[in-house]
Amino acid sequence: MNIDLSGQRALVTGAASGIGRAIALGLAKAGATVVVNHLGKSEAAAMLAAACGHGALALEADVSNSTQVAAMFDAATAALGGLDILVNNAGIMQVKPFLDLTEADWDTVVDTNLKSMFLCCRAALPGMVAQGSGVIINIASELGYLGRELYVPYTASKGGVITLTRSLAREFAPKIRINGIAPGPTMTPMIEAEIAITGGLQAETATPAGRLGQPAEIASAAVYLASSHASFFYGEILSPNGGALMR
* Residues that are catalytic: 154
- What are the DSSP calls for 51-114, one per residue? HH-TT-EEEE--TT-HHHHHHHHHHHHHHHSS-SEEEE---------GGG--HHHHHHHHIIII
Alpha carbon distances (Å) from 75 to 7, 70, 117, 171? 18, 9, 18, 27
Q: Taking Cα atoms as reference points, which of 154, 81, 161, 170 lies closest to residue 120? A: 161
Q: Taking Cα atoms as reference points, which of 217, 145, 105, 129 lies closest to residue 177? A: 129
Q: What whole-number distance in Å separates Cα of residue 92 and Cα of residue 189? A: 10
What is the residue type of 121? C
Q: What whole-number distance in Å separates Cα of residue 142 and Cα of residue 174? A: 26
| CB neighbour list of residue 119: distance below 8 Å, 6 or more residues apart | 63, 64, 65, 66, 69
Element at 48 (helix H, strand E)? helix 42-52
Element at 137 (helix H, strand E)? strand 134-139
